[in-house]
Amino acid sequence: MSAPPSSHVRERRARLFICLKTLCVLLSYITLTWLIHRVYMHKHVPDAELSLALSFTVQQITAIFTLLGVSFAAKFVRHYRAQRAARFQPFIRENLILHLNGSDQWAELRRSRARHPRELEECLVEILASIQGAGRERLIEVAREFGLLRKWQKQRHARNARQRRKAISRLCLLVPAAQQDLLEALHDPDDLVKVEAARALAGTGDARRISAVFHMALDQNRLVRAILSEALRPQARELYRSAVPDALGSPDTKRVLAALEILRAWRKSAVIPQLPALLAHADPAIRAAALHLAPQAGMTPECDAQIWRATEDPDPEVRAAAAEVCGKIKLSSSLPLLQRALEDDAPDTVLACAYALAELGASGCKVLESEVLSGDSLRAAAALEALEHAKLNRAATVGT
């Protein structure tokens, strides 16, 4: 299976499609105006310019009335379908519920399928979306028997993204019968289709399917990854054993960063054997991301030493992350390092060190108080902000 196109390529294709549609509409207007002029209008209006203007006006009037006619027809169809649904759906819904509860309703359901297929489909979707448990299998069998599964599988390959979303949302109701379709939908060019399929697979409890969703999430944009992180959170324990080690050991730094971002979003404590190696990674972005993950990954003396070294890292983002971690885990042994790091040139690092010192209690606040009186405006401002933040937090804690 070929790799899906990147978001940049999809955006270029979308812009090109919009330009082509605009060009087609413009050419249609010009062509129709010229045809009205040549076929009819110039015979009755000798002046060419006036004939063209009237041709354009006639075309606009025709287009307006056509749109109004289509709109009225669509509203009439919707109204007619709503009336049919209000009339027949209660009876169909009752038969489906009886069938769900064990009563054999195949004869009635087949009659409903022959006479009111649309209403039967909508009722089936409505009930499947609202129930859980063993009884679902009976309704899934109805969907399979009446060809709805095949219909939705076919619609999943439609060109229209909205139709694919609708199809995949309905296939999500037929798990496990539609698991293979959902796996293939993980490679759909539309983000919403992928998200729907991934969320359904994440709830199956199947380790292989869940790992596939996790690995797919690593290649998505941040919005999709954030949605999938929440969907995968209940399966975090299983993923820590199966998919996470491979992701953190990947040679692709983007995938490693995405995996660290997901693990941090889960906020679940877990031992991560790869963490010491990531804290010493050649890429500073990975070192910084691994530092942010350290508080929930189980601290070891080796990790402590690496965090101390990170306060003097060449990269300012890593230094700031190290200072933040020292404050978060209240690493009192890091006080001299944080005090020295306050002399950093990077404003973010200085501010992170100030906040970390405030978290260390009285000894850290004493250092900050002395910095407020120092002649360096950056350190003094950062120290004052951190002290005020610590004071407000203490007041809020006392108040509660």
Rounded to whole angstroms, how far apart are CA atoms 146 and 152?
12
Q: Please report whether residue 9 resides in a domain.
A: no
Q: Please report whether residue 227 resides in a domain.
A: yes
Q: Please report whether residue 193 resides in a domain.
A: yes
**pLDDT, tens digit, 9 for 90 and up, residues 75-127:** 998 888 888 878 888 999 999 999 988 888 999 999 999 999 999 999 999 99
Pair (136, 152) in one structural domain:
no
Pair (388, 290) in one structural domain:
yes
Q: Which pair of tokens denotes residue 152?
A: 């939705």
Nearest 5°: the CA angle 184, 226, 172 is: 35
Position 321 scores a pLDDT of 93
> Can you list the residues of the chain whose pLDDT is less than 50?
1-4
The structural domain count of the chain equals 3
**Domain final position from 89, 115, 146:** 146
Pair (340, 387) in one structural domain:
yes
Pair (103, 134) in one structural domain:
yes
Domain that residue 331 falls in: 283-400
Peptide bond preceding 276: is omega within 30 degrees of 0, i.e. cis?
no
Pair (303, 397) in one structural domain:
yes
Name the nearest CA neighbour of 84 among 124, 116, 127, 123.
Answer: 116
Q: Please report whether residue 31 resides in a domain.
A: no
8 Å CB contact between 207 and 238: yes
DSSP state of 6: P
Position 42 scores a pLDDT of 83
Pair (390, 287) in one structural domain:
yes
Q: Which CATH number do you get for residue 362?
A: 1.25.10.10
Peptide bond preceding 176: is omega within 30 degrees of 0, i.e. cis?
yes
Tell me the helices (H) and strands (E) count for the chain, helix number first: 23, 0
Pair (153, 130) in one structural domain:
no
Pair (107, 162) in one structural domain:
no
Nearest 5°: the CA angle 167, 220, 165 is: 10
**Domain final position from 268, 302, 334:** 268
8 Å CB contact between 318 and 310: yes
Rounded to whole angstroms, how far apart are CA atoms 109 and 103?
12
Pair (120, 91) in one structural domain:
yes
Rounded to whole angstroms, how far apart are CA atoms 326 and 216?
33
Q: Please report whether residue 65 resides in a domain.
A: no
| Cα separation values, 288 from 182, 188, 251, 278, 310, Å | 35, 32, 17, 9, 9
Rounded to whole angstroms, how far apart are CA atoms 81 and 218?
43
Q: Please report whether residue 91 resides in a domain.
A: yes
Q: Which pair of tokens denotes residue 176?
A: 């496990």
Pair (92, 128) in one structural domain:
yes
Name the nearest CA neighbour of 330 among 302, 355, 293.
Answer: 355
In this structure, what are the phi and psi dihedrals at residue 268, rounded to the nearest 5 degrees? -110, 135
Place of tokens 């195949």: 106
A 10 A CB-CB count for 215 gives: 16
Pair (139, 224) in one structural domain:
no
Rounded to whole angstroms, how far apart are CA atoms 294 and 289?
9
Position 169 scores a pLDDT of 93
Pair (126, 156) in one structural domain:
no
Q: Please report whether residue 12 resides in a domain.
A: no
**pLDDT, tens digit, 9 for 90 and up, residues 255-296:** 999 999 999 999 888 888 888 899 999 999 999 999 999 888
**Domain final position from 146, 167, 194:** 146
